[in-house]
Every structure is written in structure tokens, then in C-alpha cells.
Chains A and B, each alone.
Chain A
Amino acid sequence: MRTTPEMRGFVREALALLSRQRDLGGFEVYVSSSEHRVARLNYTSDIPSRGVEEFKSLNADGFALRIVTARDAHETGSAAIAGDLSIEALREALARARRAAIVDPHFPGLPAGPRRLARSAEKSPTPELLRAKDDLLAAVAWKIIGGAIGAFRARMKLAMPHPGLVIGGDLSLIRDRIAIGGSHFDDLRVDQSAHFASSVTALVEALDAKGTATATGVSAADLIRAGARLGRDAIGRALALRHGERPAAGTYSVVMGPQPIAEILNYMVIPSLTTGAFQAANSAYQGRFGTPVMDARFNLVDDPRTNAGAIRRRITCEGLPATATELIREGRLLGLLSNYYDAHRLLNDEHRAEKLGPDAPSDPSFPAHSGYRLGESSARRFDGHPGATGSNVIMSARGGMSERELLAAVAEGIYIGRVWYTYPINGQRAGDFTCTVSGDSYVIRDGRLAAPLAPNHFRLNANIEQVFARPIGIGRRPEPALVWGSPETYIVPALALDAITLSAIGAADSD
């Protein structure tokens, strides 16, 4: 990865050159250096495997240039260059940005304010992981595999000739650094972060059992601790769920654990809580800004600085302070994730009143606290325009219940611990979603977890209103949850819900 002084030095040189260009009314140089190291876990007892597959890294560094012409404040162009932080590369980017310039009447100018940030923003909150080597990642990845195999052997006293043991998942270490400066700032702004995430799935196909374990963290000590327990935990959960029941399709009361709630928030709610979604008229909360959109006990916040979350960011990829965005307070929609462009676009939209709705304040404000340039992971990249993305999404509630109380509230029903492939089946605005119950789930009887539920037995068809508008119980303790492919991490409670439609999936009957 590029060092902070190297990136800072390039931005400084670039700004000096750009400030001499008479045709420019404004400019911004953004540099990023990122690394995503991954060890994929793949042990299969009855199929040849390598244990750890694709032990790999993806490294990317480069810079993006945005210009505004002096002749027209709405004429803007951009270009990105990979791999080369030189003045020659900057000249090439400048020529490209000039060629690509367009007049966008809605372009609000480059993000501004505050003109200067405190230098403390440069300190890394995660120095250990920024320096971690492959040795550590390899040792922890194989520790997870070894831990899972050991736990399986210890728990399964009778040897099975073909258990169909599958240990899958990954251990990922994500690190990034950014530096940004421009005509609209008085200082150069630098940020860096590192975190790890691991998701481990254990299947024992002969027992129709599946269990998962996940971890995120920001220190090497957390990583080592996670390695010691993840494989063992996944196996333990899988074996607790062997030979699950297959109840009939129907309408059930359910408890949804943190992972399903995170998944539904990730695919159904968070994409609707952006200024871009309201501008595009495709938010599930269209026309409802300022109104109750969830149960009055819910609060929803995105916080890139919380110590509770794995993602730590001090500035956005637009150079603005990355601070918490309060999205929902006591069930009422109060804020939206936003980048600079989308915030201005919505605020100046002639149909704003209709898009936000009658209960929106007459002078709404959408601070651009969420303008990140991300690729296919949560690492910050140099190319692409800033989107509006969350970081650590935290759902909390007042008056929460213990897990025992949630189960008692349901009495007879299903505990859903993991869902999969949750998509807005009729478009984001409709709020309808479908997914399948893929593991970590139980049948609830007499207010207790009575028996495991067979994985992949139920398809769930519902609307976000059924989940968040009228839960019959809310968990007291929000817990971390990962969603595959999501740039955000989630800290959310379990919920008890009434009248959820579950349809049965036919057996694959391949055997």
C-alpha cells in the first residue's frame, strides 16, 4: 500500500499544478490505496478440496481528479488514473477530465465546508491490522479449518463413513488509506482504516445440518481470538440443528434473529434511506419523510465512528467529516444517507415536496456524511463517483425483551436465525421481499426452542411493513451481523413478528 506521506505529497504537488490552470474554476484530487486480503475456506470431507482456496490479495491505488471549468460553474469533468502518482499522470488525467466535461445544470460545485479539519483525523484507529502480514492470515484461516475438524470429531463419537462435512467461508482483511485536497479546502485530508471480517459455514449433509459463525474486528488480538472459536462454533451450531423438522406451509408468528434483520435492512431498508432513492422516486418511504415509518420503539443510525462497529472512518471520500447520520428516531424518518451531489439535487428538485411528502420540514437538511467511493468490498477506491453508503448501521429500541421473552411472545412459531437471497421482488418502492430460511433456525413450541428447523425448507414472502411497523416484540440487545457482499456492518436486535407467510420448498431429491 502507498504510505500516507507519499499520498499527501502527490496531492500537494497536484494541487500546485492545478491551481496554475486558468481554465479551471475548481478542482479536487482524491487518492486511495487499498488492499483486500482473503483466505477462502473450503474443506469438504467427501469431495477433494484444498482447505484454503484462493489465498489472495487485491491491491489498488490511484487517484481521481474532478474539475470545474472557470467559464461555467456547472461544467464539470472527471478522470481516474490507476497505479501512478506522478505529475505526468496528473497531466493525462487533466486532459481526460477536460475531454469528458459536461454541463450538468444540477451540479452543485465541489463539496465544501469546513475549509479546515483537525489533524487528529489522520491517526489510524486500527494500526495493528494495517501492518498484519500473510503469516497471520494463513495461520488463522487454517486454525478455523483445524478447529472445525477437531470439534466435529470430538462431537461425533461414532465415525460416519460419509458425513458430507463442508466447512466454507472466508477470512478477509480490508485496509485502505485516502488523501483528498482541492480548491475548496484549505488543508489536505487523510484517513486510513483496517478491519477483518470472517464468516464460517459448517454443513453436515448426512445430518441435513447447517450452522454459521461470524466475526468482525479491528485488532490482531480480535482476529486471533476469532480464529480460535469460529470453526468450533459453526460446527457446534450445525450439530445442534441436525435432522430438522419440516413444518407445513402457513402463516406463523416468528422470531427473527439479528442476521435476518440485518439482511432485510441491507437489501430493503437502507437502499430506501438515501437522498438518491427519494430523488429517483424509488424509496419504500417515498412521500413519508418526517412521518412514522417504523414502530415508535425503533431508532436507526449509521455511525462510521462508533467503537462498536468494525468500519472506522473519519472523513468521507468527498473529504467531508464522516459522522453519524440519524435515520429513524422513535420510528419517525428523520434523515437520509447522502453524498454531496444527491443532497443538493433533492433539495433543489422542483418535485421535492411531493417526493419527501407533506410532513417533511420546509427547509430540510441532508448533510453529506455518506459519500464513499467503494468497489466490490468496503475498501475505499480511487475510481468511480461517490455514492451514498452506510458504514456501521445500528438499530436500537427502547423497552426491549430478552430472548426468552421474545420466544414467549411468539409461543408457537418459528425462530428464523438465517435467511438468504433477500431481494425486493416487486421493486424497492413496493417494499415486498422474498427470501429463504437457510439455517440456524428452530421450531418454537410453548415459548421455547423446541426442535431444529430443516435448512432451506421455507420461503418467506413479506413486506418491510410487517417486519418494522408492528413487531410484537423487540430484542433488548443489538448484536453484530454480517451480510455477504454488503459494504456495511450491522448491529441489530432480534424481533418477534406476527402473521408471516412461509411457503414450503420442495426437496431437491437429488439422492
Chain B
Amino acid sequence: MASSRKNRAADDGFGAIGFLRAAAEPALRRFLRANRGATYAEMRFEASFSRTASAVDGVPRDAAESANAALGVRVHCAAPGGVVGDGFTGVEVGRIATSRTKLAAALQSALAEAFDRARCSAREQTALRRTAPAAVVKALAAIGNVEPSTERAEVAATFRRDPRTLDPAELGRLCRSASAEIVGLGSDVAYNAVAALAELRHELFVNTAGANISQAFAFSQGDCYVVAATADGHQESYDTIGQQRGFECLADDWRDELTPNPGLHRFAVELARETREVAAAPLLKPPEGEVVVVTDPHFNALIAHEIIGHPCEADRALKMEAAYAGRSWFLRSLEHNEIGRPVGSPLLWACSDPTLNGYGHYLYDHEGTRGRRVTHLEGGVFRGFLNSRATAAALGVEPNGSARASEAWHAPLVRMSNTFFMPGESDPARMIAEVDRGYYVCGHLVPSIAESRENFRISARRVYEIEHGRIGRLFRSGSVIADSKSFFRAVDAVGNDLRLVAIPNCGKGQPMQVKRMSNGGPTLRSRARLGGG
């Protein structure tokens, strides 16, 4: 490998950011000039470093230190006749990023491949248009002109303890000590796994329109999975804490207005204690018909995710996900949809806001658009979608900076950021005290939703009965089943206790992209059916 000082971009992928900030823009423009038909090019580059550790049943299971770098390149090609084809190439360049020569060659190769793909697609579409009826030609031509970003910015990561200089043994000790304490809770804990991650990521977006955006992120995440089995039953519980901060937020309790978390050790042990308690609780025998349900912020995080967040993604609403994750109950067609119409109680507000300090925080999306708050529900009235530049053009609205990929080698999709129900004015304790007979539903587990998310069944970690305003018996294997609009319309109290929860693994796309984000809300009170075990 060539390793002269001049040729080295850096000792690791992070150093290549500086080189590419200066070199990528002219390289993309040169590529456009050299390739007839090429009308636009963009490059995303990312360098990442992560440390992970895990322990199972009190014993170290894994520790790793990983560094990677990747390119994602998009090229548009206009065929004779004006049809524009789009091509994308994603490459994990890894350690190649430490060599300027090799990195530049990798960029050129990716551009050529993406261009070839765009040219093939434009050619085939041109051929189809020759024989297709006018309506088809019109539908394919109607996407409109999508103006690229011209933003230039530099955004630093926020952390006190840099993942790169963290002692790997410290992560391992933290996981092991928590896992060992869980083992010591009793023989009814059949299995436990505790994992920690500290990651630093630096992204660069450059295009031929002049955008040049560098953003860095620090992620810290702790995960715990517990299986408890008693004579009465068994329970599997898992949960995650995560912050866009350094390791400091896992080592100790982290105090934050929206997303506070206990330190990883306390978090894991508390989850295990709860799992034992639930395993010994009776199975929920669901009552007939609808009942009053008071749902806590952790449970509502999954409702916000599945029933607000995903159907608010414009690519899904515009049927681009119809073969995979389905459509959106907010948009039947461009003419028939819920925009501006009530879909819930006047007490219900919901939004996505990437500028907040949640696990889904960012300032610019992966098309170079500045992220901003998008209001989805305003007093129960549906207001709008998260979008990319192309889906914004299709909907005739301004782009709102929601196109995100999980890694640079993936093409961006429309994604949630920090998506949540907004707080109301009710005291959560009072919301329970006002219920004569009902159920208090705490902590989310597993979702299942209908194709357009117009209906859901979401299971809870704990379900308590409420009798005469007091919390009573605990049940396991309970879930909430409802049609989305009915559930939203029946909301009659919204708590003042907004909390965001880290969601580490939201899957979308083909191939699947797994993305981090946060969801949440305050305590809600509504009506639904319950499912049992």
C-alpha cells in the first residue's frame, strides 16, 4: 500500500473528511464535464469508530473496536429526449480512506458505476415511453424539477468522553457487573444479556450544486435483554437507553429534560427486577369490548413510532413502500387524504423535530436539507408529512429535511427523527385517579400494525388494572388493540410528562436499513380493546 506522507489522507477515516471537503466538489464537477448526459452528482462520505462490549449471564461475551468508512454516490443522467435516470452506488471503502490516491480512485469508480446505472435506467425508460400510452408517459414525467441543496455548514458532535480514547475494559466491566448482579437476583432469571456501545461518526455531503456539509455525531447506547421464568409463567423484556452524547451518559445517571436515563448498570438491574415481577404475574384475560386505557410515555413511544411516524413518511404515503412496509392511513390519494382534517381528539398534538437533543437528532439530512420541526397533528388535525426533496416536489411542498440513510452506502429514505406526541396539561396521577375501571399500560414491547397503519396491536411490558382510581393487580402478556383513528379520537386527557425514548433499530427499505431515532410522548388516556396471552 502506498503510504507516503503526502498521499495519506489521515491515520483513520476521520482525517479523510478534511481532504474530501476540499477535493470532492471539484472531482464531482470534473466528472459531470467529462461525461455527456451527466446532469448532477452528489457524494456522501462517512467515517465511524465504535467500541462495543457485552456480557451474558455475568460472563464477558464480546468486545470489539471497529472503524469503517463508506461512500454513497448518486448521479443523474439525461438521455436523448430528456428522460433522467438515477443511479446510486454505495461502497464500504474502510481503510482505503486513509490513502488520498485510493480514496479518490474509489470515488471515481463509484461515480462511473452510478452513472452507468443512471444511463441504463434512462435508456430503458425512454424505450418504454416510446410504446406506452400518454397517461403513463405523463405519470413518469410528472415528478418535476427537484432543486438540489446548496447549503454549506459544519456541525460538531457533542460529547465529554471520546469513544476513541475510551478504555475498552471500562465498557466490558460495566456490562459484566450489571449482568452479574442480575444473575444474583435469583434463579428465576433464566438469561440476561447486557451490551454497551460508544460510537463516533463523521459525515460529509457534497454535491455539484455547491452544497458542502460536514456533521459529526456521538452515540452511546446500552441494551438489556432478560428472560425470567417462574412457576407461574415467563416473561421476556428488553429495553434500550441511548443518547447522542459520549460514554458519560451510560456510566452514570443522565439528567436531561426530555430523555433522562439511569446509568446502564441501574437501568439493566431495574429491568431485570421488573421482568421477574411480571413473570410471576397472572396472564391478562382481556375483558370484552373497549375499556379505558391510560398509556405511559414509554408505551406511547411505540404508538408515536408506528401510527404517527411511519405513516407520516412521504415515501410511504406516496405508495413507494407499498410492496414492503405498506401505505399510510393519512393519504389515500393526492385528492383524497387527511391533510387539514381531524383524525384525533383536539387534545392531541404530534410532531417530528430533529433539532431536539434526542437519539434522532441532526441538523441536516442526507440530501443536504436543513432539518426542522414538522407538525403532524395540531389539535387533532393532520397537518403534514416528513419528506425528501423528490417527495416534497411530488406533494408540492417545501422539503423539510427528512431524507436519511442508516449508513453512507445506503440510499436515503424518508425517516423519522425525534417523533412524539406533544405534552398536554394533565397530571398523570390525576389521569389515573379519574378512572373508575380501566387499565394502566406501561412500557412497549412488540408492535403489529395493519398495512396502512390504520389499526394496531402493541404489546406492553406491564398492564395494571385500575379500580376506583387506584392501580391494582399487575398482569403479563397484555396488549392494546385499536383502530388508529378511533383511538386518537377517544383521547380525553394528555399528560404533562413528555419523555423521549431511544429507538435503536427501526427497519425500513430494501435492503433493510436499521436506523436510530427517538419517539415518545406524555401519558395518554383513551379507549381500546385489550389482547391477552
Contacts and interface: CB of A to CB of B under 8 A. Distances in A.
Given A142-B124, A170-B510, A162 B333 contact: yes
Given A164-B333, A281-B227, A383-B66, 13 more contacts: A53-B86, A53-B320, A54-B86, A57-B88, A57-B117, A58-B511, A60-B92, A88-B3, A106-B59, A138-B121, A505-B483, A508-B454, A510-B332
A78 B394 CA distance: 47
Contact of A105 (B59, B89, B93): B59
Residue of A43, A102, A168 with most partner-chain B CB within 10 A: A102
Interface stretch (B30-38, B157-165, B414-422, B440-448): B440-448
Interface string A50-67: 111111111111100000
A88 B11 CA distance: 12
B446 A56 contact: no
Interface in A432-457: 432, 434-436, 438, 455-456
Contact of B92 (A40, A61, A426, A434): A61
A219 interface: no
B124 A43 contact: no
A297 interface: no
Nearest to B68: A82
A145 B476 CA distance: 48
Interface stretch (B334-342, B360-368, B466-474): B334-342
A50 B455 contact: no
Given A51-B140, A135-B120, A510-B332, A36 B59 contact: no
B63 interface: yes
Contact of B329 (A43, A135, A434, A508): A508
Interface stretch (A199-207, A329-337, A396-404, A407-415): A199-207
Interface string B106-148: 1000000100111011011101100111011001101110000
12 contacts: A45-B136, A48-B142, A59-B409, A81-B95, A84-B96, A99-B168, A100-B63, A103-B60, A376-B513, A427-B445, A461-B457, A503-B481
B26 interface: no
A82 B94 contact: yes
B346 interface: no
Interface string B423-456: 0000000000000000000000111111110110
Contact of A56 (B66, B90, B225): B90
A151 interface: no
A78 B117 contact: no
Q: 5 smallest A-B Cβ distances: which pairs?
A: A82-B94, A83-B94, A511-B336, A506-B483, A281-B190
A432 B61 contact: no
Given A162-B333, A434-B448, A420 B326 contact: yes
A52 B121 contact: yes
Nearest to A162: B333
A420 B321 CA distance: 13
Contacts of A279: 191
A376 B234 contact: no
Contacts of A503: 481
A424 B446 CA distance: 7
B87 interface: yes
B526 interface: no
A52 B143 CA distance: 13
Nearest to B486: A506
Contacts of A100: 63-65, 168
Given A56-B90, A146-B132, A383-B66, A425 B479 contact: yes
A205 to B, nearest CB: 7
Contacts of A212: 323
Which of A56, A168, A423, A432: most chain B CB closer than 10 A? A56
B512 to A, nearest CB: 4
B184 interface: no
B132 A56 contact: no
B452 A429 contact: no
Nearest to A146: B128
Contacts of B29: none
Contacts of B143: 48-50
Contacts of B223: none
Contacts of B92: 59-62, 82-83
Contacts of B87: 55-56
B221 interface: no
A143 B406 CA distance: 30
B133 A153 contact: yes
Interface string B227-243: 10100001110000000
A385 B333 contact: no
Contact of A102 (B62, B236, B507): B62
Contact of B95 (A55, A92, A375): A92
Interface residues of B, number: 111
B69 A376 contact: no
A280 B61 CA distance: 13
Contacts of B394: 47-49
Interface of A: 36, 38-62, 77-84, 86, 88-89, 92, 96, 99-106, 134-135, 137-139, 141-142, 145-146, 149, 153, 162, 164, 166, 168-170, 172, 199-201, 203, 205, 212, 279-282, 375-377, 383, 385, 420-430, 432, 434-436, 438, 455-456, 459, 461, 484-485, 503, 505-511
B1 interface: yes
Nearest to B508: A485
Contacts of A105: 59
A505 B117 contact: no
A168 B124 contact: no
Given A55-B120, A79-B65, A485-B512, A281 B229 contact: yes
B94 A200 contact: no
Contacts of A427: 234-236, 445-446
Contacts of B451: 420, 436, 438, 455-456
Nearest to B476: A426
Given A56-B117, A149-B136, A456-B452, A46 B457 contact: no
B33 to A, nearest CB: 23
Contacts of B144: 48
B488 to A, nearest CB: 12
B318 interface: yes
B533 interface: yes
B88 A56 contact: yes
Contacts of A44: 139, 318-320
A420 B470 CA distance: 38
Contacts of A58: 90-91, 409-410, 511
Nearest to B306: A421
A422 B479 CA distance: 15
B76 to A, nearest CB: 11
B448 A425 contact: yes
A104 B64 CA distance: 14
Given A96-B65, A425-B448, A506 B511 contact: no
A89 B123 CA distance: 41
B379 interface: no
B295 interface: no
Interface string B204-231: 0000000000000000000001010100
